[in-house]
Structure formats: C-alpha cells, structure tokens
Structure 1
C-alpha cells in the first residue's frame, strides 16, 4: 500500500493538504481526534507528491532543468543563448515562475508542518494518547520541516563555503502570517540541525518496522518515512553542506551500519532502487500523472529523453560504463533509436512503480568518500561503482595522481550518473562552486548568480520581511 493511498484513508486529509496560513478554520477541525493527527502527518507526505513539489519540480523537473539534463527539444533545438535564459531569474518569465513556484510551494508545506507541530504542543498530548504516537509524530514533523528548509537553503541560500552569512530565508516555526526577517544561511543551517537533533532524540527508540507486517498500520508503514535513519541521513547531508566533514562521516556511517539496506546490483524491476531508499515517497497513480514526461519514447516530443551521445558521455560508455546498470538498456535507461529515456519513473512491468526516492544509501557512501582521507575515499566510491556493474579492474586507486581535485571530479561523475532525474547533482555542483558543468551554456555570465535563486518579489504574502 502506498503512502498516498494510506493518507486518503483518513477523513479530512484532502482539506488539510490544501490548507494555507489563511485557512485555519479547516485545520482546526482536523485536530479534534487522534485520527485527525494521523491524517495531518500523512497529508504532509501526500502534499510532497504534487507536481509542484517532489512529485516533479524538486526531483526530475525544475532542479534537473537547471543542469540541462534533457534533450526533448523536438525540431526546434535551442541556441546557447536560449538555453541560458533558464537562469535569467529576474527577467525571463519561465525562470521567474520557477523561482516563485518552488518558494511558495515549499513554504506552504512548511506552514502545514508548523500547524501540526503547533497542535501537537497545544493540546496534542491529551488527544494523541496511543503509546508512542505523539513522540513519533513530533519527531517526523521536525524531520520533515528540516528536510524542506534544507532544500530551500540549498536553492535560495549562498554557496555556503563562500558566504555563510548571506541573508536568504525567513525561519518560520508558527502557523501564521507574521512578517519574518531574512536570516543568514549559517543561522538557518543551525536551526535545521537543531530540529534534526530534537527529531533524532524523539525517534531514538524508533523500531523502523521495515517489514510492514504490523497490525498497527500507522506504525507499520514506516520503511521510507522520516524515521530515525532518514533523520540521520539528512543530518549527514546538512553537515557536509556546511563543511563539517567529521560529523557528516559520523552520521553517514550510522546510516550505513544501521539501516539494514545493501547497495542494489539489479534495477530491472526496482527501477528507482527503492529497496535502498532511506527516505522516499509513494505516489498514487503515478504512471498516469507522469505519462506526459515519461512515455517510453513513443512520441519523441515532450518526453524527457536525452540523446544517445549525451547518454553515452554521461555514463562514460566507451571506458567503464558499458555494463553500468544505471546506463544499460532495460536497466537504467530504455535505448531508443533516436534517444534514451531514464526508467526511474516508468511504471510498466516493474516492482515499485509508484515510488519517488529522496535519499538513497549510495549517497551515504559518497558523503563518506568526500569526508574521509583520500586513501580511504576510493573504497567507498568503488563500492558503489562495483555494485552498479563497473568492473573492479576499473577501480579508482589512491595513488599520487589521486588528489583532492581528482576525488571531487570522481564524485562529480558519480552524482551525475547516480542521481539522474532525482535533482541532486545541482546541489553537488553548487556546494563545490563548479565554474562549469557538462552541457553548461557558455553564455552564462555568472555561475554564482546561476547557483543562487533570488528571493521572489511577491514573497510578502507569506510574511517575509526585510533582511536582518
């Protein structure tokens, strides 16, 4: 049973999913019973599957368009200047709408999370009385707020290593429209980690229940929710972003050792590698909802395919990629005559056809590889590469030529391959302030402006004030 189907089973979920800071009457009706609190929590996950959030824009859509992933141009192949317009966030209408849309929708979900947290604190203990439920709900909600805020920071915040004190986001913990000042990125990161530390403590006794076989369905379907391993994995991401490699490695190792997952070696049925997903979503009727973007190369029009040459280059077919399951025909991609399409969102004849991965085990190995010594790092990169089908004869070796730049470039290649259509490569490039990338338009005037999405002009509706 997918998470969204589960959410639909609770009365009032649809109303809560659509609630905004100006619609408090509807949400107040929801928090009169324990069932309503359950519905509110699962409703957050349901909202995350919308096209405007992680159902498209934050995974295979807008964030992937920022790294020029696809070649679905039809007969009107754009010029370099036209492709560069994607980064004209102030003047180009499409780019401006993207910037505004991501901001509004992520903050809308944060508003819903804050509403749940506020109600849990104000009377929730007297209503949510089943043993362990209140603690679990608050831990999950804090983790989810941190997850959304971290993606806002990665999009609208600075290149952290360059300017951690840049004011970029308001920090909202209440469900209201009170104006908030923009805080420095360092303060936002500190607040995110505080939420995650509290969530980690609340979920310390989380049994995970990966087998989904409990009589208590609400507790049983937690394999890919914001459980304690997802919280730790997100902490690893955040620590790496702010440059705290010691803690990044610590948390990544805790996930690898404690999650019970192993790296996948076959994605013919599990196309999105969901069995190694630490945190992810279930999307009801996903095949229908994404059919205009992923239709198995039937029309070669709007589908998000890439050219044969593009695919061969990304996956280094000529040297090491011929047997890489992230590339092979019928595994990671469908190889059509005139293009290739990623299979992660195709639903036909697959085992997990309504799944959206958000944090996977492989990323924990990459975080470790970036955080430990050069000599040790190749071990973790090679583990993922070997699991994906790259021969051990092509293993990276920690020799004199393998320096910091070589490690960074090796991980850059891995992020580009591993997280195709998942929206994570952009963040890697931004974190390292890459001056260019594969298929980057040569006419982009400033990479810094490209990496930092501007605060929308019309954000005042959501209570954002001036910079502090």
Structure 2
C-alpha cells in the first residue's frame, strides 16, 4: 500500500475519534471532554488538525472558496447556457448567489468557535506545551482565525474602497456562544491584520519553516511529523503572504508591498524555500506536477480530491449540463496562444463526455501518479488544494512596488517560471498583472475578489471570446444568510 503523509494518518485517526463537528460540543455544565483533550500535546494537535480537516468542507475550500462559487462568478467556465446546473449562479442571480455562500457562514463561525477554544487553552493549559508547540499552535490558530474572517469579509463585506464604514460581519474573539454585533468593514480589516501580526510574532523564532523550509518528508528518525510539512499549515511565510493579500484588498498598497517584499526576501535571500516548480517536475509524463507543489505556501491535503473535486466538477464522466469547462478560444486567448506556457499545456485537455461531445476539460486537479519512487510517499500532486502560493506574492509585489521597473521584474519572474516571455517595457503593468491573475489561479478562487477589489464595471464572459458582462454593484455583494438574520432578530440584535 502506498504510504501517504504520516501526519495525515494522525489527523484522520483523530477525526475518527473526535470529529471536527463534535469534539467541542460540550454543555456548559460538563466540560470534561474538552478539558481531557487539552491535557496533552497530542490532544492540542488533534484539535488543531480537526480544524484543518474541516476547512476542506465543500462550503469552504473543498469547493465554494476555490473551484466553485468564486470561479463561477469570475466567469472562468462556460456554464451560462440553458439547463446548466450553475447557470443561475453564473448569471449573478441573487437567490443562487446567497444560497451558494450560506454554508460558508455557518461552517466558518462553527470553526471559529473551535479555533478560539484552542487559543484559550493555549493560555489556560500553557504548562502542557513546550515553547515550540505553544508558539506554533498559537500562531497557526491566530492565522486561521484571521483567514476565516477574511474570507467572510470578502464575501459579506462591502466594496471596501467605497464603504469602509458599512457594518458587515461580527468578529469572533472568544468561544462564548453569544450574538456579537456586526462591525464596520474598517474595524474587521483592523482586527484581521492584528491577528495576523500576532500570529507572525508567535511563529517568529519557533516555526521550523524559517530554518529548514517546508520539509516535505517524514521525520528521518521516525518521530512525529507535527511540525513538518509546513506548507500544509499556516506557517510563518504563509502568514506574511496573507498579510500582503489582506492589505492589498483593503487598498493599503504600501503595507502590501512591505509584507510581500519581506516574505520574498525571507525565502530567497539566505535560502531557496518554496522555489518555483521546475520544468522537470511539471512535464514528467503521467506524473505532471500540475499544482506546482513546491511553491505552495499554504495548501490543504485532500485525500478525496479526485472524488470530491475533479469527478464532480471537471471530469470527462460529467455531462454538458454539469461539467465546468473553459471555452477553447477563450483559453487560448487568455494564455496568448503560447503553447510553451506550462499552464496552457498541462491544465487543459480535450476529452469526450458521456454524450460523445469532445470538449476542453480542466485537468489541473486530475489524479496523477505522484508517488516518490525512493520514499514511496505521495508528493501531493494528486491531493493538495492550493490556498496561498508564492506567485501571488510576486504579483502583489509587482502591483505594489514603488518602483514600476522593479515591479515589472516581479511579474516577469512569474512569467519566466511558467515558461513565458517577459512583458515589454512599454506594457501597462496594471493590466498585465490582472491578466496574470486570470491565468495563474484557475480553480483557486482568487480572480473574482480581484474584480470586487477593483470594482470592475465589466469583466470578460466565459461564454464567447471578446464578449463582456456589465457588472452591477450588487453582483459583488451578498446578504447575510436568512437564518442568521432571523437569529439576530430573535436575540434582539438587529444589525
């Protein structure tokens, strides 16, 4: 049997014993189960691992926030034709949009309660953890709290540049089960950055990623792998990348540049951590690294990615009315018709569907033989869902660098890594960066939020080359789930 990552075995065993939805469901009268869990370092790790597992729920990064809702709204796919299952969502129907994100709200706040419980026990049970475990667990939990609030903020918040004062979501700072008030967008942004700064401080000097990189491999001495495989956790560098993402979304380009520059220098000056994927890794027949594993700063390891992502979203076994596919003419235009571009060459393939129609399918998440012939351990090509990657930080640096010439160099670094020629000196940098986002993040859920951040009034259609969609402001806005609105009214909190 092929060995998967040992740390995932611990995660799964922990989840089987205490599922993420159950491990903190204890009454106020009986906290025995919770207290038991945090009596050992292993218990802390079980709790934290359970949170990472639940991030793969289809309401979160298993679908909605990656290849599903976000990318459908970004018009990547040809799904606006009659009878397609995603037509209403692609058409920005209000009911369809709000239904698509309702699960994200409930799942996120349930997880935030668990995250806050971990943080509280980091302090109340400090003696259980040595310094490294304390700082790493605390840092990751703070970063997770910021990450989930930021996803909710992008969805349920206003167009930030237009209305920073608008009340949008509550910020869960503790595990108390009470109705918290909706806070202004600028206060949510401040709290997210505050959590990320605290996470960075906690991880600095303790996260092994700083000195040893992501360490994709088991402990050679047979020990536990709790703080190895750091690209599968919200590590020190992933936190800095997230800070750059948040700052840019909020229009703080100087802050975004500060953290993008800091992160890039941190992984490039003394070491070569998170290197761009090599040609050899990407093009090896039947073992292509289509997700560019080495450059993922933070991803989630989904053992059921084939069944829960590829086969339900992109596979050749899907009929025309349910498959998410990209129009061939649009795809070639998107990648400038450059067959040398690794993304164009290895993310798409012609396949025949059950109705005998030949279409271009997205195969980025298709399973490959990714087992290292020496270690017999999966390299993750078939299982990882990317959340943060190095190329995004380079694109943030390109957009925010005070020196446009240097900014162009950051953009060209990404293009070079993808086997694409440099942009010309007279090319508009802003436009080129936006186009690179579109090429780079297929199936990763980032493009729509760039459109919202910039308040784009028109975006390219996924149906026909050169066709555009006029964007109304409401297309970028989502209502709080009706159940949440009703619950707030019942508890006397109207906002």
Within-5 A mapping of 1:227-242: 227-242=235-250
TM-score by length of 2: 0.83
Assess, with a 3 A threshold, how the Cα gap between structure 1 residues 132 and 282 changes in structure 2: closer, same or farther.
same
Indicate conservation of the 8 Å contact 2:59/2:101, yes or no. no
Q: Does 1:271 align with 2:271?
A: no
Residue 350 of structure 2, aligned match among 335, 339, 349: 335
CA distance in structure 2 between the aligned counterparts of 1:290 and 1:187, rounded to whole angstroms: 35
Alpha-carbon distance in structure 2 between the residues aligned to 1:258 and 1:165: 35
| Structure 1 position 8 matched with structure 2 position 38 | no
1:438 to partner: Cα distance: 0.9
1:355 aligns with 2:355: no
**Aligned twin of 1:449:** 474
Decide which of 409, 426, 440 is 1:418's aligned counterpart: 440
1:422 Cα offset (Å): 0.3
1:179-328 counterparts in 2 under 5 A?
179-205=179-205, 206-208=207-209, 209=212, 210-211=214-215, 212-214=217-219, 215-259=223-267, 260-266=273-279, 267-268=282-283, 269-294=288-313, 296-301=315-320, 302-317=322-337, 321-328=338-345
Shift in CA distance, 184/384, structure 1 to aligned 2, threshold 3 Å:
same
Tell me, yes or no, if the aligned pair for 1:74 and 1:300 is still in contact at 8 Å: no
Distance of 1:110 and 1:46 partners within structure 2: 14
| CA deviation after TM superposition for structure 1 residue 261, in Å | 2.0
Structure 1 pair 257–451 and aligned structure 2 pair: CA distance change class (3 A): same
The 1-side partners of 2:249 and 2:57 are apart by 26
Structure 1 residues 425 and 174: CA distance shift in structure 2, 3 A: same
Tell me the CA shift for residue 134 of structure 1.
1.4
State the alpha-carbon separation in 1 of the partners of residues 36 and 476 from structure 2.
42
Q: Shift in Å at residue 428 of structure 1?
A: 0.7
Contact 1:4–1:46 (CA under 8 A) maintained in structure 2: no
Aligned to 1:428: 450
Over residues 323-345 of structure 1, what are the superposed CA-to-partner deviations in whole Å (9 max), with x where a residue is unaligned? 211111xx122233732222221
Structure 2 partner of 1:148: 148
Please list the CA deviations of residues 155-198 of structure 1 after superposition, one character each: whole Å capped at 9, or x if unmatched. 11111111111111101112132111110111001001111111
Distance in 1, Cα, partners of 2:492 & 2:429: 41
- Change in 2 beyond 3 A, CA 1:28/1:197: same
The count of aligned residue pairs is 448
Structure 1 position 389, deviation (Å): 1.6
Shift of the 295–88 alpha-carbon distance from structure 1 to 2, 3 Å rule, reads closer
Give the structure, 1 or 2, with the largest relative contact order (CA under 8 Å, sep 6 or more): 1
Note if contact 2:66-2:445 (Cα within 8 Å) is conserved in structure 1: yes
Partner of 1:112: 114
Distance apart, 1:461 and its partner CA: 7.5
453-462 or 372-381: bigger deviation = 453-462
> Normalising by the residue count of structure 1, what TM-score does the alignment of the two structures yield?
0.87
Q: Which runs of 5+ in 1 are unaligned?
A: none
User: Which ranges in structure 2 are unaligned for 5 or more consecutive residues?
Assistant: 268-272, 353-357, 371-378
- Please, what is the CA RMSD of the aligned residues? 2.8
